[in-house]
Amino acid sequence: MRGPHNIFRLIRTGATLERTGAMTFVMNAFEAPPLVRIVIRCLMWPFQWLGYKGDPDMGPTTRALNALGPAYIKFGQILSTRPDVVGTDLASQLRVLQDQLPPFPREVAKAEIERELEISVDETFSEFSEPVAAASIAQVHRARLAETGEDVAVKVLRPGIERAFRRDIDAFYFAARVIEFLSPASRRLHPIDVVTHFEGVVLGELDLRLESSAASEFASNTARDEGFRLPSILWNLSARRVMTQTWADGTRFGDVAALEAAGHDTRRLAARVLELFLLHALRDGMFHADMHHGNLKVAPNGDIIAYDFGIMGHIDEYTRRVYAQILFGFIRRDYRRVAEVHFEAGYVPADRDVDEFARALRAVGEPIFGMDASRISMGRLLAYLFEVTERFGMETRTELILLQRTMVVVEGVARSLDPHMNIWEVAQPVVEEYIKKSLGPTALAKDLTRTAEVLARFGPKLPHIAEAALIRQSTPSKPTSHPVSWPWAALGGAVVMAAGVLIGAGL
């Protein structure tokens, strides 16, 4: 029910932030102006008794988000990778949200597994540990198969998690509608569409069968990627609320000291994780969209191991080419071309000035080049980029939300390993290789071949399609003076089909 009753939920959100002391951290992190601070504190202070108390052993912000529920925790996970946006103190607090949340009892997990898989946990596993990781949606247990002795990871959804997420998403929809009503200027950002997109992603994450399928597809796509591997899915021990996969030993990506002590090159790991993200997004159109520290390990041999495939991103070939050209333009510092691509793709209204937009993009890109990454304020950069999008009437592209969000997360992960990394220098070889393969003569030939194949496949129907179109255009009072006879239309279809076959054979 997406109605006014959600006002109470939103008030409770602010009250929880105030009661736990998180409001101060949040306003400091985002550099809220004094007037905004005063107004928010005056509004929230009388209602703080409505807020959740949370776990007093946690830091203020993690305490608040954990008390508010899984949707808020997801938001905190994203911010935890951006110390350059929210500050080091807040990012450190939020990092425990990745996989160090309070677990639910092992016996509850075993009961969930037995109910879902219709097996006896004690007979199937010779060992079944206490939770080794607990996140917002599920927790993981290490177990050993009784039959083979193989170590596996068993992921179990939190009891009642579906209901909790729907409650939060319900409140988000209400907030989005209020924002659109009170601020017409915000409508270009499509806040309701953004929430709808988030809802689809989250609901997919709540079905572990979909995660198992995504993991299998992702493994097929990346089987030949050097220095990257994934755990394997055990399908016979996986279902909607339970997923079992092979155990992956390694050092956690967020433990920089342990990685250095193990002799790993953290600078190379930082570059490689960004390269892999771009490679998967551009080459395959499918990428791991939740690549925070908690979902990455480094194997003893230096391989990057990814897991937790509940959120996977998908982008079509056309969008990939647009995205690659935008990145390529920034890398080459060809801001005019970047602006043209935005106009060609319809991201910027056609009535705006392309040269002015190119100058605005230059102000975004130039501070990045020739400057040590540790000196770049991503917070200020994102703030200016938002100003640019508002000034030129750019609308939110929901198909790019997950891609953009993941890019922010991955860059944050990489910079935690190498604060001096320049993302453009790392991205250049990957983007150039994709541009070469997707926009060159070979790519054009493949596009023509695919087009011809489609025309050939629909060749028998083309005469009927053409005839139906002509009939719709004609009227009883003014019949077509030169009707196209069926034989001629059929011949046209045959010619198109034959051309398709010849082009396909020739290419």
Model confidence over 243-289: pLDDT tens digits?
Answer: 999 998 899 888 899 999 999 999 999 999 999 998 999 899 999 98
333 and 470 within one domain: no
DSSP 17: H
Res. 503: pLDDT tops 80: no
In a domain, 124, yes or no: no
448 and 435 within one domain: no
Contact 227, 272 (CB under 8 A): yes
**Residue 391 CB: number of other CB atoms within 10 A?**
12
pTM for this one?
0.69
455 and 378 within one domain: no
Res. 194: pLDDT tops 60: yes
Annotation marks residue 193 as catalytic: no
**Domain end marker among 68, 97, 126:** 97
Q: What is the pLDDT of residue 500?
A: 35
Q: What is the pLDDT of residue 502?
A: 32
Q: What is the rounded average pLDDT of the residues 50-72?
A: 81
> Vertex 498, ends 494 and 501: CA angle to 5°?
145
In a domain, 132, yes or no: no
416 and 355 within one domain: yes
50 and 20 within one domain: yes
447 and 417 within one domain: no
Long-range contacts of 446-451 (CB under 8 A, 24+ apart): 446/507, 448/503, 448/507, 449/503, 449/504, 449/507, 451/500
User: For the chain, what is the domain count?
Assistant: 3
Which residue range(s) make up the domain with 23? 6-97
- Backbone φ/ψ region at 377: left (φ over 0), alpha (ψ -120 to 50), beta: beta
Task: Give the range among 185-199, 223-237, 241-255 with minimum mean pLDDT.
Answer: 185-199
408 and 492 within one domain: no
CA dist 69 and 97 (Å) reads 11
Q: What are the pLDDT digits (tens) for 470-491?
A: 777 665 554 444 443 333 333 3
Start-end of H helices in 58-105: 60-68, 70-79, 83-86, 88-94
466 and 448 within one domain: yes
**Domain end marker among 422, 439, 456:** 439
309 and 263 within one domain: yes
479 and 434 within one domain: no
Q: What is the rounded average pLDDT of the residues 2-8?
A: 65
CA dist 121 and 143 (Å) reads 10
In a domain, 204, yes or no: no
Q: What is the pLDDT of residue 371?
A: 63
Residue scoring higher pLDDT (312 or 372) = 312
DSSP 283: I
Contact 194, 247 (CB under 8 A): no
473 and 427 within one domain: no
Res. 157: pLDDT tops 70: yes
DSSP 286: E
Axis crossing angle, helix 423-439 with helix 441-457, rounded to the nearest 10? 50
In a domain, 139, yes or no: no
The percentage of residues in the chain with a pLDDT greater than 90, rounded to a whole number, is: 27
In a domain, 106, yes or no: no
> Vertex 331, ends 330 and 336: CA angle to 5°?
35
In a domain, 183, yes or no: no
Task: Give the range among 152-156, 259-263, 389-393 with minimum mean pLDDT.
Answer: 389-393
The span from the first CA to the last CA of the chain, in angstroms, equals 55
Report strand pairing: 228-229 vs 304-306: parallel
**Residue 99 CB: number of other CB atoms within 10 A?**
22
Residue pointed to by tokens 């060992």: 127
At 145, is the secondary structure helix, strand, or coil? Answer: strand
Q: What is the pLDDT of residue 499?
A: 33
Q: What are the pLDDT digits (tens) for 318-366?
A: 888 888 888 788 878 898 998 898 888 888 888 889 999 899 888 877 8
For residue 491, the number of C-alpha atoms closer than 13 Å in the C-beta half-sphere is 4
- pLDDT band at 111; cut points 50, 70, 90: very high
Task: Give the range among 162-166, 292-296, 452-456 with minimum mean pLDDT.
Answer: 452-456
All residues at 6 or more sequence positions from 288 whose CB lies less than 8 Å from its CB, including other chains: 218, 277, 280, 295, 306, 309, 311, 312, 313, 406
At 229, is the secondary structure helix, strand, or coil? Answer: strand
> Which uninterrupted H or E stretch holds 143?
strand 138-145
Q: What is the rounded average pLDDT of the residues 60-89?
A: 72
In a domain, 115, yes or no: no
**Residue 363 CB: number of other CB atoms within 10 A?**
14
Q: What is the pLDDT of residue 398?
A: 58
**Catalytic pick from 290, 303, 372, 447?**
290
Start-end of H helices in 241-344: 256-261, 266-279, 317-332, 335-344
Contact 182, 191 (CB under 8 A): no
Backbone angles phi, psi at 392, to 5 degrees: -100, 10
Q: What is the pLDDT of residue 488?
A: 33
CA 292 → CA 99, 219, 222, 288, distances in Å? 10, 19, 19, 10
CA dist 284 and 162 (Å) reads 30
CA dist 166 and 156 (Å) reads 19
**Domain end marker among 419, 439, 459:** 439
For residue 324, the number of C-alpha atoms closer than 13 Å in the C-beta half-sphere is 27
Residue scoring higher pLDDT (74 or 377) = 74
DSSP 440: S
Rounded mean pLDDT of the chain?
79
Q: What is the pLDDT of residue 392?
A: 80
479 and 334 within one domain: no
Q: What are the pLDDT digits (tens) for 403-414?
A: 777 887 888 888
In a domain, 218, yes or no: no
At 346, is the secondary structure helix, strand, or coil? Answer: coil
